[in-house]
Structure 1
């Protein structure tokens, strides 16, 4: 199977600034200013045509950063990303201008994607019908609920028929009826060999819809493979995590923060620590 999305050694580093003046220092001073924070570190993986990849991981693991990198919203600090075809990111209010109406946002987004005025007029009725937000289509987006923003964003994104679709928590808001309608549409994409990345806190949706899972932890890949193999490992980890004491959870978060701040890396861990961690998961 040929790949449609390929990441090779992707790292995304940010500078942590405590106050606005630090941002100016970061620009002026040689080598920058502020602590490094690695939202994503050294990611290498491929997704093929027809793959539906569930992106899993606890909060702060790098899921949204991953989505923005593949969608080319933010550039990587280092490494290469190769995406074959057009990409569309669906996230709550992503790319919507809150001062414009829903109808105006449809026109603006499609114009920015290169569509001509006559084609936009042709596409608009189907987008409005799918969004199904009634009279709110002619009201400013700033008056929308998060569910309405999700409906409009999803409707616009699927209308452009992308080769790679990224759904980042867009189905976590709003009603179940609309979520089910979206899943039906995504299944149509799946049958047509599109590549889909699905970010959701609903493990049930993941297992029902995705055939692969990418488990991110502290900005690195913990596991990648078939959903039926990876998800049981992740669910076992979550069950274990919930049983930890506050102190154990604090240590886990601190360890991750150190890695993402560059104070420690997976590569710098001792062989004894790596083997201990490996053994702790060998039963799953």
Structure 2
């Protein structure tokens, strides 16, 4: 019997929105529960603003939930062009920083550097500040560091959507090797075909709510049907729909507000 890699129970994440007259709180994610077994390859589906990136940061333990519980069984790594790199440091310095944060000794970090140099193919650019990198170069660096650190659970958030196709193919080949090794992978991509080809399970998040979780063949059909329905809406209908969804995501429950306030006081 396989052991779970990740288990979410009643997880919610709440953000604050400020405007000229007031501050509102809304659910980025609301009451999310699911369990992923070790070795599962899970494609996370959802339209822009659905909560996918928030979920990825929770899974990577970069953020903590405001409500509910997350169980993580293993070392995680988030591969995203927007997260995990210090823009002021060079590529090499970022490798040292990542290794030090994980408690690796200097000789182990130096082994990581050689692996990153080989896989990223960035050459002398590794000695340049990351702020000067293109999006594709950041993706190469982030991916290569994460792979060299050999995590148990890998969360990929649109990291293959930038850069050249040759490197993306190289990454997918590496993912297939990790898949064969029994690693757990969460894969976020706007390419539904890519998700269907690579993943065994699908997890559809929409409007901050878990809509479906199960075999990728079944979940992808549900998601495709939803996209088809959206595409048939007129511009006015789509605007009204988005306004309705946003209103539903606002935190109106007084008990929830009091719970959040209590948590702030105890931090």
What is the TM-score of this pair, normalised by structure 1? 0.85
In the alignment, which residue of structure 1 is the partner of 2:88?
99
In the alignment, which residue of structure 2 is the partner of 1:252?
241
User: Size of the alignment, in residue pairs?
Assistant: 252
Give the counterpart of 1:72 among 39, 56, 61. 61
Q: Secondary structure at the match of 2:83?
A: coil
List structure 1 segments (4+ residues) > 2 angstroms apart after TM superposition. Answer: none
What is the alpha-carbon distance in structure 2 between the residues aligned to residue 44 and residue 141 of structure 1? 37
Q: Secondary structure at the match of 1:81?
A: strand
What is the alpha-carbon distance in structure 1 between the residues aligned to residue 19 and residue 243 of structure 2? 19
In the alignment, which residue of structure 2 is the partner of 1:30?
none
Q: How far 1:238 sits from its partner (Å)?
A: 1.1
CA contact (8 A) 1:6 1:47 kept: yes
Q: Secondary structure at the match of 1:98?
A: coil
**Tell me, which stretches of 5 or more residues in structure 1 are unaligned?**
23-32, 265-284
What is the alpha-carbon distance in structure 2 between the residues aligned to residue 93 and residue 40 of structure 1? 20
In the alignment, which residue of structure 2 is the partner of 1:267?
none
In the alignment, which residue of structure 1 is the partner of 2:151?
162
Q: How far 1:114 sits from its partner (Å)?
A: 1.0
In the alignment, which residue of structure 1 is the partner of 2:259?
none
In the alignment, which residue of structure 2 is the partner of 1:17?
18
What is the alpha-carbon distance in structure 2 between the residues aligned to residue 123 and residue 12 of structure 1? 34
What is the alpha-carbon distance in structure 2 between the residues aligned to residue 138 and residue 160 of structure 1? 20
Structure-to-structure mapping, 1:139-218, within 5 angstroms = 139-218=128-207
What is the alpha-carbon distance in structure 2 between the residues aligned to residue 93 and residue 201 of structure 1? 16
Q: How far 1:134 sits from its partner (Å)?
A: 2.3
In the alignment, which residue of structure 2 is the partner of 1:6?
7
CA contact (8 A) 2:200 2:216 kept: yes
CA contact (8 A) 1:93 1:153 kept: no
Give the counterpart of 2:123 among 134, 144, 151. 134
Q: Deviations over 1:154-205 (max 9, x none)?
A: 0001111111100001011001111111111111111111111001111121
RMSD: 1.5
What is the alpha-carbon distance in structure 1 between the residues aligned to residue 140 and residue 153 of structure 2? 19
In the alignment, which residue of structure 2 is the partner of 1:279?
none
What is the alpha-carbon distance in structure 2 between the residues aligned to residue 10 and residue 100 of structure 1? 34
What is the alpha-carbon distance in structure 1 between the residues aligned to residue 112 and residue 80 of structure 2? 21
**Tell me, which stretches of 5 or more residues in structure 2 are unaligned?**
254-267
CA contact (8 A) 1:41 1:219 kept: yes
In the alignment, which residue of structure 1 is the partner of 2:104?
115
Q: How far 1:263 sits from its partner (Å)?
A: 5.0
In the alignment, which residue of structure 2 is the partner of 1:52?
41
CA contact (8 A) 1:90 1:168 kept: yes
In the alignment, which residue of structure 1 is the partner of 2:262?
none
- Which range moves more in the overlay, 161-170 or 131-140? 131-140
What is the TM-score of this pair, normalised by structure 2? 0.91
Give the counterpart of 1:238 among 202, 206, 227. 227
